[in-house]
Amino acid sequence: MHNDVSTTEDSRLQRSRHAANIPYPWRNARPPAGRSCFRNGGGSPGNRFYLNGQSCGIVWKPPFRVEITDAAKPGANELVVEVANTWSNRLVGDARTEGKDYCRTNIAKSLTWSVPWKDTPLLQSGLRGPVTLLAGNEQE
């Protein structure tokens, strides 16, 4: 599943710091041998992973993996990914929504693009790649 916040038509998501919670029902026939983790294939910093209500961590940098061994159980499991948006997208969303500022900054232009926030392109964010289970030797 890919949920790139920058491509959504919903302007509320484009300007929100916390974009959405994405549930993934998952069936574990038997506990994998050794340690297990989920990998966020597209890699987007700031996404938080929960398995069966237990926080497994936030991915900040490659390889964008979170340890799930202690939270996984045989049978039905539920993974929830709390996807994050970028602060840049939040500022762009505010600039494009006249009179509806949700945050304030003294930086008038995007540092990357050197243009006013309203003219700055949205950055990719959210869940940009597949979430895959890695178990045992697959983690290398």
Per-range mean pLDDT, top range of 22-31, 48-57, 75-84, 89-98:
48-57
Distance of alpha carbon 17 from alpha carbon 47, whole angstroms: 11
Residue 69 covered by a domain: yes
**For residue 135, which phi and psi values (nearest 5 degrees)?**
-130, 145
Model-level pTM greater than 0.75?
no
Residue 52 covered by a domain: yes
* Segment 130-139, tens digit of pLDDT: 778 887 655 5
Residue 11 covered by a domain: no
Distance of alpha carbon 104 from alpha carbon 113, whole angstroms: 19
* Segment 108-130, tens digit of pLDDT: 888 777 888 889 888 888 777 77
Q: Are 13 and 84 a contacting pair, CB within 8 Å?
A: no
Query: What is the arithmetic mean of pLDDT over 97-108?
Result: 73
Q: Are 87 and 17 a contacting pair, CB within 8 Å?
A: yes
Residue 1 covered by a domain: no
Q: Are 67 and 57 a contacting pair, CB within 8 Å?
A: yes
Residue 51 covered by a domain: yes
Residue 118 covered by a domain: no
Name the band, by pLDDT with cuts 50, 70 and 90, for residue 56. Answer: very high
Residue 68 covered by a domain: yes
* Domain span including residue 72: 18-84
